Amino acid sequence: MKTLWINHRSFQSGGKPIPVINPANEEIIDEVPDATRDDVFRAVAAAKTAFPTWWKEVAAHQKAELLHEIAHRFKVKTREIAKVMTLEGGKPFNENVDEIGWVVNCFDYYAELQRNARGRVIPSVESSQLAMVLKEPYGVVGCIIPWNYPILLLAWKVAPALAAGNTVVIKPAEQTPLSTLMLSSIFDCLPSGVVNIVTGRGETAGDALVRHPDVAMVAFTGSLETGKTIAKICAEMVKKCHLELGGKDPFVIAEDSDIEVVVRAVAWAAFLNAGQVCTSSERIYVHQSIAQEFVVKLADFTKGLVVGPGMNPDTDIGPMIGAENRRKVEAHVADAIKRGAKAIFGGKRPGHLKKGYFYEPTILTGVERSMRVMRDETFGPVCPIMTYKDFDEAIALANDTIYGLGAVLYTNDSKKIKKFFENVQAGTIWINDPLTDNDAGPFGGYKATGGHRELGEEGLEAFRQTKHVHWDFEQENKPWWYPYGNGNKPSGAIARKSKTKG
Nearest to 54 by CA among 117, 116, 141, 120: 141
Q: How far apart are CA 241 and CA 227, in angstroms?
A: 9
Q: Does 328 bind ligand NAI (CB under 6 A)?
A: yes
Of 88, 99, 244, 454, which is the active-site residue?
244
Nearest to 242 by CA among 143, 119, 139: 143
Nearest to 98 by CA among 268, 251, 306, 242: 268
Binding mask 108-147 for ligand NAI (x = CB under 6 A): ------------------------------------xxxx
Within residues 48-87, the interface with ligand NAI by CB under 6 A covers none
| Piece of the chain touching ligand NAI by CB under 6 A; list 59-67, 219-227, 364-372, 469-477 | 219-227
Nearest distance from C-beta of residue 292 to ligand NAI, angstroms: 31
Nearest to 381 by CA among 323, 317, 287: 317
Q: For residue 257, what are the contacts with CB-CB under 8 A and spacing of at least 6?
A: 290, 410, 411
Q: Does 207 bind ligand NAI (CB under 6 A)?
A: yes
Q: How far apart are CA 294 and CA 388, in angstroms?
A: 13
Nearest distance from C-beta of residue 173 to ligand NAI, angstroms: 4
Nearest to 394 by CA among 414, 417, 377: 417
Buried residues in 291-310 as b, exposed as e (16+ CB within 10 A): beebbebbbebbeebebbbb
Sole binder of ligand NAI in the list 148, 179, 199, 411 (CB under 6 A) = 148
| Piece of the chain touching ligand NAI by CB under 6 A; list 103-111, 226-234, 381-389, 467-475 | 226-234
Q: Compare residues 213 and 492 and give the one whose CB is closer to ligand NAI.
A: 213
Q: Does 177 bind ligand NAI (CB under 6 A)?
A: no
Q: For residue 494, what are the contacts with CB-CB under 8 A and spacing of at least 6?
A: none
Q: How far apart are CA 173 and CA 151, in angstroms?
A: 11
Q: Compare residues 275 and 346 and give the one whose CB is closer to ligand NAI.
A: 275
Sole binder of ligand NAI in the list 38, 65, 203, 293 (CB under 6 A) = 203
One-character DSSP codes across 317-352: B---S-HHHHHHHHHHHHHHHHTT-EEEE--S--TT
Q: How far apart are CA 90 and CA 92, in angstroms?
A: 6
Sole binder of ligand NAI in the list 90, 165, 222, 347 (CB under 6 A) = 222
Q: How far apart are CA 199 and CA 34, in angstroms?
A: 6
Q: Compare residues 165 and 459 and give the one whose CB is closer to ligand NAI.
A: 459
Angle between helices 93-116 and 60-76 (to 10 degrees): 170
| Piece of the chain touching ligand NAI by CB under 6 A; list 108-116, 155-163, 167-175, 302-310 | 167-175
Of 99, 278, 282, 383, which is the active-site residue?
278
What's phi and psi for 156, nearest 5 deg? -60, -20
Nearest distance from C-beta of residue 17 to ligand NAI, angstroms: 16
CA distances, 348 to each of 281, 332, 344, 373 (Å): 20, 12, 11, 15
Report CA 318 to chain centroid distance, whole Å.
21
Sole binder of ligand NAI in the list 180, 221, 273, 362 (CB under 6 A) = 221
Nearest distance from C-beta of residue 54 to ligand NAI, angstroms: 24
Nearest distance from C-beta of residue 150 to ligand NAI, angstroms: 9
Sole binder of ligand NAI in the list 7, 129, 229, 465 (CB under 6 A) = 229
Sole binder of ligand NAI in the list 105, 166, 184, 325 (CB under 6 A) = 325
Binding mask 231-260 for ligand NAI (x = CB under 6 A): ---------------x--------------
Nearest distance from C-beta of residue 165 to ligand NAI, angstroms: 24
Sole binder of ligand NAI in the list 278, 320, 386, 448 (CB under 6 A) = 278
Buried residues in 155-180 as b, exposed as e (16+ CB within 10 A): bbbbbbbbbbbbbbbbbbbbbbbbbb
Instruction: Decide if 6 contacts 46 (C-beta within 8 A).
Output: yes
Query: Would you call 180 helix, strand, or coil by DSSP?
Result: helix
Binding mask 355-394 for ligand NAI (x = CB under 6 A): ----------------------x-x---------------
Residue 95 designated active-site = no
Return the active site residues. Answer: 244, 278
Residues that bind ligand NAI (CB under 6 A): 144-148, 171, 173-174, 202-203, 206-207, 210, 221-223, 226, 229-230, 246, 278, 325, 328, 377, 379
